[in-house]
Each structure stands twice: as structure tokens, then as C-alpha cells.
Chain A
Amino acid sequence: MNDRLSFYRKRNSPVHALNPFTKLILVSALIFYGLTAKGFWTATLMVAFVLLPLALASKLLKEYVGVALKVILPTAGFMFVMQSVFIPGGTTEIFRLGFISVELETVQRSYLIASRIFLFISAFVLLLLTTHPSELMSDLTRRGLPPQFAYVIISTLQIIPQMQAKAQTIIAAQRSRGLDTESSFFKRAGLLVPLVGPLVFGSLVEVEERAIAIEARGFTSTRTKTFLHDIPDTPADKFIRWTLTLFIIISLAARLWLS
């Protein structure tokens, strides 16, 4: 059950075995470098030579590419349209589509932004695919993150798949009552109430139940808490984290120095 309710996919791989904090640092380093580096191809290269091999190593290439494509295609399309409409003024026309002229500069700009967004999102997707959210939060809490903060993050991560599952059940229940979800667009507008109503009510009820449940387990207790699961943190993890941190500092220093 739980597996269906988060992005996490269990595999026996070296990436899964890394400490969650190490993976978080790795993702942050990738994103930081990818977003601040000036090179046109930086983000693309980082996806190709870091994220894809990591996805392969974690035996999740198919899942990674699947989720990534779902994100990138609409993003790139949207970027391109926005850029074309609001920031015209390129000089190198590639071709003309009716009254719209497609310019090289626009294409380049949209590609740059889209590839950065892609790097950003897909790095997080890989983190979520290979790290169980509660493990990540457990580890961060142990390192000093306030539990309230951890709770907000973890429930947000879980809520999307949970809402999806619930929405599917609601749709199934209403179709069973003869609601024709395959009908025309105009009828579809009228479908919203039977589908969204139970979703909202259900979520409100759930919030209250959750609050009571965590309170009953001493969530707000001020005593020092112990941890049920031991999350391994190897010397290799520490080494990777320090290397990445150093790398970021050096690249930042280099940039400041050279500019």
C-alpha cells in the first residue's frame, strides 16, 4: 500500500544505499551549479552525464525518464510560447509560421530556461525515487531539523499521491452511480462538484485525524526523542558530502575571482 502512496521505488542499488542527507547535498550541489553556471549547455550536460547515469545505477532509468518527460515537454512548450509572445526582438529568423516568426534567439532562450527547470525538477525526482520520504526526514530531524518542519515537508510529499489515489476512488464511486465521465466538455463542467466535493471534505476530516494521531504520539513533547530506525551514514557518505561542498565553494570562489 505504502509504496503506491509515494514516489519512492524500492531497489537494491548503490544510490538507494546512500545516506539521505548525502543525496540531498548531491541534488543541491547539482541544482546550485546548474543554475549559476553561465554555460549554455551546463544544465544539459549535467543531466546527461550525472543524472542519467545515476538513474541507471539506481535501476530506475525507465521511471526517471517517464516522470522527466512528463515534466519537460509541457514546460518547454510553455517557455517557448511565453518567450515568443512577451520577449520578441530576435534577429535571426529560422522560419515563419503565418504571422509568427520563429527566431533563433527565442529558441535558445527557451531552451536554456527549460533545461535548467528540467535539471532542477528531475534532480528532485531522482531523490524522491530513491529515498523513502520518512527516511529522509528522520535523518534530517536527527541532524537538527525541527520536527514540525519535517512534518510539513513529509506530509506535502505524501499528499500528492494520496490525493491522486483518493481522487481515483471518488471517480470510480461516482461512475458506479451512473456519472458519465466520458461525456462532452459542457457536461464535464458539471462533473466537478461530485468529484471535488468529497475530495475537499475528506481532506478536512483527514487533517483533523492526523493532528489528533500525531498529538497522541507525543509529537509536541519537549523531551529528547529517540529514533526507531537506524539510518546508516558511512565514511563514503561523509567523503562525498565534503567533496561536493568543497567543489561548490571552489567553483563559487573561482567565479567571484575571475569576474
Chain B
Amino acid sequence: MNIEISDLHFTYPSGVQALRGISLTIEAGEQVGIVGQNGAGKTTLVRHLNGLLHPTAGEVKIGDWDTRKYSVAKLAARVGYVFQNPDDQLFSRDVRTEVAFGPKNLGYPKEQVEALVSEALEMTELADKTEANPYDLSPTWRKMVAIASVIAMDTPIVIFDEPTTGQDAASVARIANVIRVLRERGKTVITITHDIDFCAENFERVIAMSQGRILLDGKANDVLGQEEILAATYVDPPQLARLGRRLGFKETVRNEEEFLAALKNMSA
């Protein structure tokens, strides 16, 4: 299911022009990281994808659906959206019920709900915490519950808004693993993040935003190498890329494998 955004403008009722002409196509199965300074309009952009916001001008299409013509509840079957703060959505007495809420709303048959929930709990390593009250869990595990509750909806498109903010290393690794599994299943994953190393390691395509516009959009290596342009939106290239540059590598590297390969190339 493709995402098609054409000349999207959005102004909040308060008068803030949050988006100023965004055109973008995301193909089914793509993994996209969105970076950019605070207030760049990243959250505003992804809130258009499931119809929480409607364009002031321009158009957003999810597959063949124009988001203006479908309710958020309908679009939820196509676009899953993990909010930044898990406490904004958790309300059930136990983890399992919480995770089942989304798929139930979508009207899947009972057995399928069961299967999807079990799978999502497995993927987020919550299988041993299904009876716990979400509010008895630590914030990092509450985050996993929120992620599981959206993954269980089995939508072709999944959005994460700053999933790694405030998470410890183990939790970041779990989230990276969830994204990897979603990629293997052919899901489209769109992730807003300030963690540039996380972005470099997990996404093939990176979009940099600044002041309601797209600054850069392309292969992760190309985008993350544009040090000067990224500086305009207060994003530093990943550590390995900067180190590689100082070592005189020709290409931008973004993970350990690429770094080692380039290093071998140089010494050969």
C-alpha cells in the first residue's frame, strides 16, 4: 500500500504554519526515518497519514483512500500509529487486554485477535508480562506495551513517533528488532527519531525536515552524509560517518560493517 502526499500544507488554528508544501511518495514495504529539529513539523506530517489532521491544502492518499474521506477509525485498519507517550493510551487492567483493544476495534474474528495479540507480545518480549497491570511496569516496558498494542492491529503501515526517546539500550535494541521483523513481513515503517545512530542503523531511506519543508530525502548514506545541509536542522551525521569522514573515506558509512569494509579498502 503506497503513501502519496502531494503539495501538503497545514496551518494550525492558532495560525502556526506547520507544513509548507510537502510532496512525498512512500512505496509499500519501505523503511523511512524522519529527522529534523524540534518543531520542524514531523509529528504534524505523520498525523496526516491516519487522518488525525486534514490538509489545509493539498492531498494525502493511503493506497486508494483520500484521508479526508475516511474516519480515523477506518484509517486505523491501514495505518498504525504509536504515540510518543505510552501513558496517553494505556487504560486496561492487564497487558493482554490492552494489546487486544486495537485488533478488536478493527473487527477481526476472535481467533485472529488471539493470534495477533500473542504474536505482538512475543515480538515485544512481553510474553512473560501478559497478566501485569501496564501501570505496574517500568516506563520502558510501558513503551513496549504501547508498541505491541499497535503492532497487533496488523496494519500494512506502522508509524513510530520518537520511539527511542528516554529508552535504555536494551529497550532500543528491542525496538530495532521489532522494526526488523516488520521489514521482513513487508510492512511500511515510518519512524520519527532524534537518535541519529538509531536512524542510520535501521532505515534505508531518510527524510530530513526543517520548518515545515523537506530538506533532504534519499538513501540513508546520501542524506546522512550532507553535513552542511543537516546542520540547518540541527542534525549531526552519525558518529561513525563523522569518524569515517575524518579518516578520509570517500563514501559515507552508517554502520559497523560499512565502516570496517571502508577501512579495509583504504589499507588495501
Contact = CB atoms under 8 A, between A and B. Distances in A.
Interface of A: 3-4, 166, 169-170, 172-182, 193-194, 197-198, 201-202, 205
A177 B14 contact: no
Interface stretch (B75-83, B116-124, B193-201, B208-216): B75-83
Contact of B101 (A4, A166, A177, A182): A177
Given A170-B88, A173-B83, 14 more contacts: A169-B83, A175-B76, A176-B50, A176-B76, A176-B80, A176-B150, A177-B153, A178-B153, A180-B105, A194-B91, A197-B91, A198-B87, A202-B87, A205-B87
A204 to B, nearest CB: 9
B57 interface: no
Nearest to A206: B87
Contacts of B83: 169, 172-173, 176
A248 B89 CA distance: 52
A198 B52 contact: no
A169 B86 CA distance: 11
B102 interface: yes
Contacts of B85: 169
Nearest to A201: B135
Nearest to A173: B89
8 contacts: A175-B76, A177-B76, A177-B105, A182-B73, A194-B89, A194-B101, A197-B92, A205-B87
Contacts of B149: 177
B73 A180 contact: yes
Contact of B88 (A3, A173, A181, A193): A173
Contact of A176 (B14, B72, B87, B135): B72
A219 B92 CA distance: 36
Interface of B: 14, 47, 50, 52, 71-73, 76-77, 79-81, 83, 85, 87-92, 101-102, 105-106, 135, 149-150, 153
Contacts, number: 73
Contacts of B153: 177-178
Contacts of B105: 177-180
A193 B88 CA distance: 13
Most chain A beta-carbon neighbours within 10 Å: one of B91, B101, B102, B150: B91
Most chain A beta-carbon neighbours within 10 Å: one of B71, B87, B149: B87
Contacts of B14: 3-4
Most chain B beta-carbon neighbours within 10 Å: one of A3, A177, A179, A181: A177
Contacts of B106: 178
A178 B77 contact: yes
Contacts of B79: 176
A164 to B, nearest CB: 13
B73 A175 contact: yes
Contacts of A169: 83, 85, 88
A198 B101 contact: no
A202 B76 CA distance: 24
Contacts of A194: 89, 91, 101
A194 to B, nearest CB: 5
Contacts of B52: 172, 175-176
Contacts of B71: 180, 182
B76 A178 contact: yes
A201 B52 CA distance: 24
A178 B149 CA distance: 11
A57 B81 CA distance: 45
Given A4-B14, A169-B83, A173-B83, A181 B91 contact: no
Contacts of A182: 71, 73
A178 B71 CA distance: 9
Contacts of A180: 71, 73, 105
Nearest to A195: B91
Nearest to B102: A177
Given A4-B14, A176-B52, A177-B149, A198 B102 contact: no
Nearest to A181: B73
A9 B85 CA distance: 28
